[in-house]
Chain A
Amino acid sequence: MTALWTLLTGFVLAAGAWQWSTRSIDGSARVAIVAVLGVTAAAFNIVVPIPSVEATTTIVLCASIALGARTGIAAGLVAIVASSVTGGVGVWTIWQVVAVAVVGIVGAVAARFAVRELDWFTQRSAIVLVIASVVATSAYDVITTVGSLASYAPQGGTLTQRIVGALLIGAMFTVTHVVFTTMFTVVGGPPLLHALGRARPRLAGGVVTA
């Protein structure tokens, strides 16, 4: 029953993230940006996959830094849906949604530290990106691994023992994942942040009736 409750908890979290991020998309510019970023992230997964690089993490992180967590998470969800067409859907999909939500939150927190107007082509901003990317990628890996594992409820030992075992076995993969994704973020993130910075003023327009 632990597995069932774990899965249902994941489902509730994923559904909440889904509703929160997509329901609250206001304005055509934000909708269009979310769709474009989501398709771009999915394309990295399907068309031009880079070994050990999770481009979705980078794109969600940057979108969250520049435009807020809701936009970043919604873009991640579109990427998951689009990737599912070829990658399939399973228990892990639920945990991917949860993980994307956490990456979005990390991005939003990073934005508070970095100030959105930061020039993303400077060394100082690269440090902010490195830290955010390491945290976000690590969180993504841990959540998808632990969530999927607990949902399947494998036998042998306590749940904690199994999770710790799985994380240790997959540690090298996680480290590789974090290193390469962070490198990708440092190289590809600044141009993306710069472009998204141009989009920010479009998200707030007003009408003054004389």
Chain B
Amino acid sequence: MALSAGAAFAGWVAILVTLNVTGHPLIAGATFVGLTVLALRQGMGRLVVLALVIGAGLLLVVPGVAIIDGSFRIGYAATLITPRGSDWFWALCAVLRIPAQVLAAALLALVPARLLLASAGRLSPDTALLAGLAARLRPLLGRDVRLVRDELASRGLRIGRGAPLGERARGVVALWEAIVSGLLDRAFQTAAALETRGYGVATPTVDAFTHAELHDGVRRDRAVDRIVIALAVSLVAGTIWARSTGQLAPPAMHALGDASAAPNAAVTALAFIALMIGLVPLRARVATLGPATASAQPFGTAASPAELRVTNVSMTYPAADEPSLLDASLVVAPGELVVITGASGSGKSTLLDVVTGVAPRATGGVRRGEIRLGAHVMGSSRQVGDLRVAAVFQDPEAHVLVGQVAEEVAFGLRHAGVPIAAIEQRVLHALDQLDVRHLARRDCATLSGGELQRVLLAAALAVEPAVLVLDEPTSQVDATSERRFWDAVDHARRTRGIGVLAAEHRLDHVLQRADRIVVFAHGRIVADTSPAWIDKVAPQIRADAYADLAPAPIAPSGPARLSVRIDRLDANAHDATDAGARHTLLRGLAFAAPAGSIITLEGPNGTGKSTLLRAIRGLHDEHAGVLVDGRARGDVGGSVQSLAFLSQGAGAMLPGRTVRHAIEETCRRLGIDVAAAHDALNAAALADRLHAHPSELSVGERQRLALVAATAHRPPVWLLDEPTRGMDATARRWVAQHLLAHARAGGVALVATHDPALAAAIATHRLRLDLRTGPTLLPVPRDEQGRIVVEPVTIADARDAEVEA
């Protein structure tokens, strides 16, 4: 059963007036009646009966709960008055206070916290936004904290009871540093999402059903809201009546002494506030468009195609000596797909940031030059015309702002000031276009990566953009999801004339669809040509990242360095697809990896690749039988020297004030030579970034730093989750070389990846996870030189391997 925000608010008001303030009997009675109606509408008649039974029981069992000290009348005192003549009405009302409290508490307990927070949004649009973000960020930040704790524990941070006090204290401080740094990074991501989703363009459309479910949920919520209003009105009317008739407190309350008078005054004020909070959002706000300019078009009235023209644009970020983008000029015609590419830090992302308005509004710094969309000039203040540039980014989860799918799609429309009546139609239309209408009521946190990207594409298309900006939108999704995403993009640009500006590292996926390709280097555009000419103009762009690695044959051999047996692996509760439900990811997996093995974990999103790595590392709830070099793995802290772990989001959560500080602290904790780590930084092309804060690095640079930090102590077994995420060809090649060198030195690596080219280049064994078929071994590609010289270990063989728990 799902309660609406309206129901949540009713519960909140009930708590306000009954639990925390010495209540007026009339208020208690009205609250009980209101909550009873509410509960009955939710099909919870049994709860009402239960509340009455509990209330009666409390009256009989604990009549002495009243606290009477001559000053205060708190608790159940008001319910214990013996009726005297005409006081029976007041006494009845007062007695209903107990079941009202029980009912309110029970209703409140059923309401998801996010809806309770969302109900606070009734105060004002600003509060609505803040409360909505808070509700969305709450679980996300919790997960970030768990992630950074696990990462640090995997790198030798000791804050448990076994560690000396001084080390524990240092560990707690390091953990806190990492957490606050990560929190700010999360805020910056959220800011970017806000910029591209219409925040600040107009006064947002807010109604009584903010954050309520769309579709048939609307009707139910309206009924609930009427109950809330009736409740609030009765609270105020009853109290005012009592005061106007000279009964500041009813006779039954007078029996308790004068103390009742003051609380009633407080209740009057609080009830009035509650009423105002309840009523304010009922007036649907008419869109107030942003500053009127000659070029600004009323939103939604002219969804005609428009040309994006970038002219001599430069961008300098705060504290940067050099501009990250220099004199860039390009045009994206209606319906055109322009792919931009180049190495990490070459200026691609900066161009996308300035086109979407993320830079400089959410990043600071100074942008020069002109960006024009049709006749509209994009400036430093948000205008409705800016919304006609929509975006989908690389990390979809970081750009979810509300949570529920339908509301997520509606976010941009609300913030563009689109009237309520039009929002639902456009949301449903956008969901239909992307074939995700069946997900409308789901929470975004429960979607797979591919589903979430399509939802965010629906959100982008719902605002009827003229230009769609895509920043490696499919870098974290499987091949099927990737194809569906790009098909949808193609359909949008063909049918609606939407121009698309897309940054991609893996060009093979988009080149056949592209009209033009723009190559960046050192902040400048160095080529702007058709895909057919790219091999002549900039052949390095299409070069295979893993070509000519020329490895010596890898020959996994000898006794198992890593042995794993997992009887059953369930998703974590916070990863579950349905609230509270945990599904089984895989059953009966066992393998033994000899020295020199590189096992890639492949398969669609949500099949348990990351969970399997976490289980092997000891960071999952499930028990996994893991032996390293024949010895039991031990706990996380005890296995630091034998296992390296790089989680998928590791790059976003790097503790340390600078790159140098981050790596040296890691070395200190692990007891290894700092010089060796610096050598690794050199190899990862990070030597010139030593004094930068980790958050100032690009996604690819962060990932490289995280990998260096995770493997600096060279443990025999590496567990890496999407190590090439966000990297350009050069960096991906470095990762492959890093892994091959490890394998040649006798190490073992498990690598979860969506990059089939990486798997083909380095894997000695390829394990595919699939929820339907279970884990299977894929054939390992061999080149003409026969790089893979040992037959892969089969699952069946591995089952027989002696693995002790």
Contacts and interface: CB of A to CB of B under 8 A. Distances in A.
Determine if chain A interacts with chain B.
yes
A195 B183 contact: yes
A122 B176 CA distance: 18
Contact of A198 (B361, B379, B380, B695): B695
A11 B273 contact: yes
B120 interface: yes
Nearest to B199: A28
Given A40-B141, A78-B131, A202-B362, A31 B369 contact: no
A22 B120 CA distance: 13
A97 B22 CA distance: 21
Contact of A207 (B138, B194, B318, B379): B379
Contacts of B366: 205-208
A205 B693 CA distance: 20
A41 to B, nearest CB: 10
Interface in B335-390: 359-370, 377, 379-380
Contacts of A8: 269
A32 B191 contact: yes
A82 B361 contact: no
Question: Which of A18, A81, A85, A194 counts the most B-chain CB atoms under 10 A from its CB?
Answer: A85
A151 interface: yes
A88 B140 CA distance: 23
A201 B72 contact: no
Interface in B83-135: 113, 116-117, 120, 123-124, 126-127, 129-131, 133-134
Query: Which one of A77, A153, A196 has the greatest number of beta carbons of chain B within 10 Å?
Result: A153
B188 interface: yes
Contact of A43 (B142, B265, B318, B362): B142
Interface string B188-205: 111110110001100000
B421 interface: no
Given A78-B131, A85-B116, A198-B695, A25 B126 contact: yes
Q: Main SS of chain A's interface residues?
A: helix
A32 B187 contact: yes
Contact of B265 (A4, A11, A18, A42): A4
Given A8-B269, A29-B191, A209 B379 contact: yes
Contact of B130 (A31, A85, A155, A208): A31
A154 B73 CA distance: 10
B-side interface size class = 35 or more
A168 to B, nearest CB: 16
Interface in A85-111: 85, 88-91
A38 interface: yes
Looking at chain B's contact residues, the main secondary structure is: helix
Given A22-B127, A91-B270, A31 B117 contact: no
Interface residue range, chain A: 35 or more
Interface string A188-204: 10011011101101111
A151 B262 CA distance: 8
B131 A81 contact: yes
A82 B12 contact: no
A35 interface: yes
Nearest to A207: B380
A187 B187 CA distance: 22
A153 B22 CA distance: 12
Given A194-B657, A207-B380, A36 B124 contact: no
B592 interface: no
Contact of A202 (B19, B141, B188, B657): B188
B21 interface: yes
B190 A201 contact: no
B495 interface: no
Given A32-B194, A39-B141, 14 more contacts: A18-B123, A19-B124, A22-B124, A28-B195, A28-B362, A29-B364, A40-B141, A89-B20, A155-B259, A191-B176, A195-B184, A202-B363, A205-B318, A206-B360
19 contacts: A25-B130, A27-B200, A28-B191, A28-B362, A29-B191, A32-B133, A33-B187, A35-B137, A35-B190, A38-B130, A82-B117, A82-B134, A152-B263, A192-B180, A199-B187, A205-B364, A206-B380, A207-B380, A209-B368
